[in-house]
Structure 1
C-alpha cells in the first residue's frame, strides 16, 4: 500500500476493519477476565460484553455505527457509572488492550495511535 493510500485510510481500516476489530476484542477479553482488578467487574457470560465492545469499537474507530444502531447513543460514561472505576483499573484496562493490540500484529504506530485514542475514554470513566 502506498503512503498516499495509507493517508486516505480510515482508522477503522488501519485496524483491519470488522475482522481486525473482532480479533482485537476477542484477544482482549480473556486478559480482562484474568486480571484481578478487572475480572470481578464482568459477568461470567462475557459473550454479550464482547459483542457490545465489538460494536462500540467499530463505531469509535470510524467504522459503521453498530453500537448506536443496536443500543442508541453510546453514553459510555453513564453506562459505566454502576461500576467502581479507579485510575488503577483504567490503567489495567489500557494494559490489557495494549497486549491485545500487540498480539494483533498491526503496525506498531497503529497500535500506539489506537491506545492513545482509547486513553481519553478510559480515564473519563473514572468514578471512584
Structure 2
C-alpha cells in the first residue's frame, strides 16, 4: 500500500485544477460580460496579506479593457463571466490563474494568490 499512495497523490496533484472563488456582492441587472467584450470597471486588488497593489478608484478613473487572454489575467475572464453591469464581485484568484511564477513590478511577488473587488460599469460587444 505504501508504494501506491505516492503514485495516487502525484496523480491527484497533476490533475487538480486551480479554482477561482467568486462572491457576488451586488447582483447587476444590465448587460452581461463575456469573453471578447470591452468592459469598463472600477476595481481594487490585494495580496492575501491585505496589501493593496492596485486601485482604479485611487487613480480616479475606471479601467477599460477587452476580456481576452492577451489583455487580462485568466482569473478576470473566468471571474467576470456572466456578471451584469451594475454588479460587484469579489474574486479570489489562485496564482496559476493570475501571474503564476512571474513577479509583476515590486508589488506582486511570484506565485501570489490575488483578491479583487470589481464593480462592472459598462459592457460593449461587437453587436453594439
**TM-score tier after normalising by the smaller chain length:** under 0.3
Which has more radius of gyration? 2
TM-score calculated relative to the size of structure 2: 0.26
TM-score calculated relative to the size of structure 1: 0.26
Q: Please identify which structure carries the higher strand content.
A: 2
